[in-house]
Amino acid sequence: MIRYALLFIIVLPAGIFFMSCSNRQKEAFREVETKVHSAVVPDIQTAEWAVEWWMPRHDSINKRLKEGNVDLLFIGNSITHGWENIGIEYWNKYYEPRNAVNMGFGGDRTQHVLWRLEHSDFTNISPKLAVLMVGTNNSNGDDNTAEEIADGIIKICKMLRTELPSTKILLLAIFPRDSIPTAQRQKNATASKLASVIADNRTIYYLDINSHFLTKDSILTRDIMYDYLHPTEKGYRIWAEAMEPKITKLMKKM
């Protein structure tokens, strides 16, 4: 009897933990629908430098999605987009064999990702996993607060759960930027932490690999991010290797 009682005591907190995570996710999803600010309102990218390629890229990716056979999605901004050039060696090594599609768009903010997801045809796909990392472009100056950036990230996850209900989401903390700790880097860190409340470790998982990019003194060097924002080839290698154990585990959970 004592043995069973002890087992009950050990198991119960875990159940409470998962229920609590799930409740926080549901509450966050409900709350974000009441928010009205730029980070949560779907919008087309209108930057002059992006107009010529942004919509054609969206159409091209949408065509690929309609073809089916997609097991892994990467969703984000230029940092994700960069897997196609600077990070191509590691994309080909880790993700091409997994039928991955890169939905990263240079310059995108959370509102642009929302628009793209809203206008994507997911009819023929049911990916095992979607990797999301976005928000740094919302953090410039007074464009959005940390709370608003988190709202945008949460709304993206909510949309993914609606459109791709059987797809797990790996939500990455926004990568560090600037050579030394700054207010903008801290804003992104706060936004990531706020958004992480939706991780229930059943449908949405949160992963912070930022320490892999920084020195012990929190310095970001040019050999890892050449402009203190976008990864070098070495940066993409670090990203892929730091994330691989989690991706392997989640893609086997189907």
| Angle subtended at Cα 176 by Cα 171 and Cα 179, rounded to the nearest 5 degrees | 170
- Residue 15's pLDDT is what? 52
* Residues 156 and 134: beta-carbon distance below 8 Å: yes
Instruction: Flag whether pLDDT at 192 surpasses 70.
Output: yes
Active-site residue flag, 78: yes
Please indicate whether residue 211 is annotated as part of the active site: no
pLDDT digits (tens, 9 = 90+) for 199-239: 999 999 999 999 999 999 999 999 999 999 999 999 999 99
Whether 3 has a pLDDT exceeding 60, the answer reads no
What is the per-residue pLDDT for 4? Answer: 43
Other CB atoms within 10 A of residue 106 CB = 20
The average pLDDT across 154-175 equals: 98
**What confidence score (pLDDT) does residue 75 get?**
98
Place of tokens 């119960």: 12
At residue 28, the pLDDT reads 92
- Whether the per-residue pLDDT at 2 is higher than 90: the answer is no
Take residue 131 and report the two structure tokens written for it. 């990797």
Whether the per-residue pLDDT at 254 is higher than 80: the answer is no
User: Active-site residue among 58, 81, 112, 230?
Assistant: 230
Say if CB 132 and CB 156 are below 8 A apart. yes
Task: Over range 179-192, report the average pLDDT.
Answer: 98
**Rg of the chain's alpha carbons, rounded to an integer?**
19
Paired tokens of 87: 């990070």
Interaxial angle between packed helices 183-195 and 146-163, expressed in degrees from 0 to 180 and rounded to the nearest 10: 40
Q: What letter does residue 226 receive in the DSSP assignment?
A: T
Share of the chain above pLDDT 90, in %: 90
Residue-wise pLDDT for 113-161, tens only, equals 999 999 999 999 999 999 999 999 999 999 999 999 999 999 999 999 9
Kindly report the average pLDDT of the chain as a whole number.
Answer: 93
How big, in percent rounded to 5, are the helix, strand and coil portions of the chain?
Answer: 55, 10, 35
Among candidate residues 150, 155, 144, the one with its CA nearest the CA of residue 118: 155
Q: Give yes or no for residue 7 having a pLDDT over 60.
A: no
173: helix, strand or coil: coil
Looking at domain 2-251, its CATH class is alpha beta
Task: Select which of 22, 78, 126, 179 is catalytic.
Answer: 78
pTM score, two decimals? 0.91
217 counts as catalytic? no
Number of other CB atoms surrounding residue 152 within 10 Å: 28
Report yes or no: 172 and 131 within 8 Å, Cβ to Cβ. Answer: yes
